[in-house]
Chains A and B, each alone.
Chain A
Amino acid sequence: MSEARKTFWDGVRAEIPLLIGVFPFGMIYGALALNARLSPLASQMMSSMVFAGSAQFITAKLVSDAAPALVIILTIAVVNLRHMLYSASLAPYLKNLSLKWKVLLSYLLTDEAYAPSILKYEETGITPFSHWFLLGAGFSLWSTWQVSTALGIFLGAAIPENWPLDFALPLTFIAMVVPALKNRPMIASAVSAGLVALLAYSLPFKLGLILAALTGIAVGTILEGKKSSRETL
């Protein structure tokens, strides 16, 4: 087996535990998108056009709430801002690649592909084939996401309309947020965003969501800043 192919499969293998976790999320997304009255084709295509779990969940919800397109797009942008961190973090390891490789690997750069890849890069540094690892991790996640979306759309069509399937959205987000609340700035960020979202609920165009998110981000950042400046005293 060539070195490139071997490294690719190393990436796939490192991704497998994450794939098991991602599969049910893809199914829930597929079923929710259908539940939000997106067409099966649009629900499926969002998984390759946007290819970002939480953003897809939120887009489906906002579309079903008839939020204006501009607000939906703005929300997608805010939700996916964190990808700039991954981009910054991997950039030094990808600097020698051709533009084609950079484009391909950027497209595949999700939370789940980033996690094992950065560990690998920090361990081995740049090798002639190290980008194949990221390709293996990213591509296996991409394929799993497409298949699980399709299965979710297929099964979602069979779920009776009066089932509270839409509740899977806050539940999924609770499952993502709560374990991340490890310190006071994180908790303050989540709680302040939630409270502003409640207070601003009646704002038109779902603008309350963006206002709340920005508040939470600001609160967390300011509290963290204060904490570290106190520590340096």
Chain B
Amino acid sequence: MNIWLIMLIGGLITFGMRFSLIFLFGKFEIPETMRKALHYVPPAVLSAIIFPELIYPSPSNQLDISLGNTRLLAGVVAILVAWYSKNTLLTILAGMIALLLLQLFIGT
């Protein structure tokens, strides 16, 4: 399927979710359990992306938990910066700079 069709369907689904309960107001309410569950969507989905990106680093996409895995080390730096600073841009910059420096010293 081509990218345009993916974007069209993905866009319609996204719109549908935003519109759903505004449209159905008074006719349908989100059950309590689902309401709870929805709070966990962002941390779950994003972590499911983050972990493999660090442990199976591109470009090889092979399992690598050694100290030679520059993306894993840079990722840990970013996690620490995020934890202590809670600053998104600082986190991204620190992680990027860490990766570039590590690649320079350890090699990819």
Contacts and interface: CB of A to CB of B under 8 A. Distances in A.
A86 B18 contact: yes
Contact of A164 (B8, B13, B99): B99
B23 A38 contact: no
Interface residues of A, number: 91
A38 to B, nearest CB: 6
A217 interface: yes
Interface string B44-56: 1111111111111
B29 A179 contact: no
B52 A167 contact: no
A175 to B, nearest CB: 4
Chain B binding surface, main DSSP class: helix
Interface string B62-93: 01000000010011001100110011110110
Contact of B56 (A87, A168, A201, A209): A201
A59 B10 contact: yes
B3 A42 contact: yes
A216 B15 CA distance: 24
- Counting chain B residues whose Cβ lies within 8 A of the other chain, the interface size class is 35 or more
A5 to B, nearest CB: 24
B22 A90 contact: yes
Given A171-B78, A178-B91, A198 B51 contact: yes
A197 B88 contact: no
Contact of B42 (A61, A177, A185): A177
A70 B6 CA distance: 8
A175 B42 CA distance: 12
Contacts of A215: 44
Contacts of A180: 42-43
Interface of B: 1, 3-11, 13-15, 17-26, 29-30, 33, 35-56, 58, 63, 71, 74-75, 78-79, 82-83, 86-89, 91-92, 95-96, 99-100, 103
